[in-house]
């Protein structure tokens, strides 16, 4: 288009120059000849060229072609987990896992002396530990096409299976009501905000008297992913209670107010890391946990759990405890 306009402009300038030259000549045969020549000079217009593709569109098409040659982008490990849950959610015969479900027949912890002194009961430092964690879909597409409301229930038990009468030392009950929105928003080239959740959480140990522990919290969390990595950043806010109903007013000082969880999946192995902390404690309190699940068969996986810090159990939340456990897991978080 630009070249055709330039050609027409040049031709018009040439014709105008010839006419001007003819009129500026003295009146004579030469002037008449010049006029005849100017009027007879053909004005040639070039055929218009097809419009050139805009630069932005050309770059976009080049990127699209490059992406097409590279093949489809594989979903992140966390997105694959979400898609699998969505596929199974409508089956009433299937329970969806929430957190890891595991059974550890051998779980050694360092704080049994404190538990014995407080309760006047002999405890073995080696016990069985297991966790049941399930998710129950309630409804979806409430406000957005990709949102969902669901309830969860998590129970973690510490079982003195090797002691006489095999008592349960403590069981922690943790129901939640959660609302989540799937976002799939690219924060960086290799980091995606997969979902945002908000919810209400109740946690208690079901005991009475001086060993009763319970609290209620509101929380907000962001779930991020990068390839085989899954990341959760959570902040909770304790719901205030009256002084007479509060069994443990300083619980958050030891357990913390924030939680950072990371999981990495590779070749059917999953390694997780979890940190809970109260930022005002200069990282002197809180809790660290590392787990590793590895293949041992078609149905179950081996599971190793390491934990250190405060809040290992609710009854002994203000005691620093180190724990190592070995057993099997039924599902992974990725």
Residue 326 has pLDDT above 90, yes or no: yes
Pairing of strands 287-295, 269-277: antiparallel
| 260 and 291 share one domain | yes
Residues 203 and 274 occupy one common structural domain: yes
Q: How far apart are CA 101 and CA 331, in angstroms?
A: 6
The answer to which of 54-63, 84-93, 143-152 has the lowest mean pLDDT is 54-63
Same domain, 94 and 236: yes
Q: From 12, 45, 70, give the residue that closes a domain.
A: 70
User: Above pLDDT 70, what percent of the chain?
Assistant: 77
Predicted model pTM? 0.78
- The answer as to whether 323 is a domain residue is yes
**From CA 133, how far away is CA 202, in angstroms rounded?**
14
Q: Do 66 and 34 belong to one domain?
A: yes
Do residues 322 and 180 share a domain? Answer: yes
Domain end call among 29, 52, 70: 70
- Residue 307: give its domain's CATH number: 2.40.230.10
d(CA 174, CA 171): 10
Residue 46 has pLDDT above 70, yes or no: no
Check: CB of residue 287 under 8 Å from CB of residue 259: no
pLDDT tens figures, 242-261: 888 888 889 999 999 999 99
Contact 108, 305 (CB under 8 A): no
pLDDT in tens, 105-117: 999 999 888 777 7
Is 175 found in the same domain as 37? no
pLDDT score for 27: 45
Packing angle between helix 29-40 and helix 2-24, nearest 10 degrees? 170
CA nearest neighbour of 172 among 93, 108, 228, 255 = 255
Mean pLDDT, range 29-49, rounded to an integer: 52
- 6 and 87 share one domain: no
Task: Give the model confidence (pLDDT) of 7-34 as tens digits.
Answer: 555 555 555 554 444 444 454 455 555 5
Catalytic residues: 202, 204
Same domain, 31 and 169: no
- Is 291 in the same domain as 316? yes
The DSSP-derived string for 175-186 is EEEEEEEEEEEE
Number of structural domains, the chain?
Answer: 2
- What is the reported pLDDT for 280? 66
Residue from 95, 209, 106 nearest 152 by CA: 95
Structural domain including 55 reads: 2-70
3-state secondary structure of 5: helix
Percent of the chain with pLDDT over 90: 61
Q: Does 334 map to a domain?
A: no
Per residue in 261-316, pLDDT (tens digit) is 999 999 999 999 999 997 666 667 899 999 999 999 989 999 999 999 999 999 99
Write down the pLDDT at residue 20: 47
Residue 200 has pLDDT above 90, yes or no: yes
């Amino acid at each position: 288009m630009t070249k055709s306009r330039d050609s027409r402009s040049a031709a018009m300038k040439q014709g105008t120059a010839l006419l001007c030259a003819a009129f500026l000549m003295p009146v004579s045969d030469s002037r008449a000849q010049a006029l005849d020549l100017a009027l007879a000079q053909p004005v040639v217009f070039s055929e218009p060229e097809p419009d050139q593709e805009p630069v932005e569109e050309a770059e976009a098409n080049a990127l699209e072609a490059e992406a097409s040659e590279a093949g489809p982008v594989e979903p992140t490990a966390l997105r694959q987990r979400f898609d699998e849950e969505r596929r199974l959610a409508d089956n009433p015969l299937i329970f969806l896992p929430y957190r890891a479900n595991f059974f550890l027949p051998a779980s050694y912890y360092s704080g049994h002396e404190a538990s014995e002194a407080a309760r006047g009961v002999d405890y073995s430092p080696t016990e069985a530990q297991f966790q049941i964690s399930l998710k129950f879909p309630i409804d979806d597409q409430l406000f957005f096409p990709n949102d969902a409301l669901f309830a969860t229930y998590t129970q973690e038990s510490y079982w003195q299976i090797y002691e006489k009468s095999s008592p349960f030392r403590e069981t922690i009950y943790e129901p939640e009501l959660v609302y989540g929105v799937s976002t799939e928003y690219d924060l960086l080239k290799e980091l995606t905000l997969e979902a945002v959740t908000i919810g209400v959480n109740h946690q208690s140990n079901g005991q009475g008297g001086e060993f009763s522990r319970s609290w209620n919290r509101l929380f907000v969390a962001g779930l991020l992913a990068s390839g085989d990595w899954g990341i959760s950043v959570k902040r909770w806010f304790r719901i205030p209670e009256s002084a007479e109903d509060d069994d443990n007013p300083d619980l958050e000082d030891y357990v913390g107010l924030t939680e950072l969880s990371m999981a990495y999946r590779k070749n059917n192995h999953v390694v997780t890391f979890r940190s809970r902390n109260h930022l005002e404690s200069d990282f002197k309190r809180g809790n660290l946990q590392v787990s590793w699940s590895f293949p041992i068969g078609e149905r179950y996986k081996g599971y190793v759990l390491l934990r250190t810090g405060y809040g290992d159990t609710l009854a002994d939340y203000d005691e620093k405890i180190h724990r190592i456990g070995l057993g099997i897991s039924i599902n992974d978080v990725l």
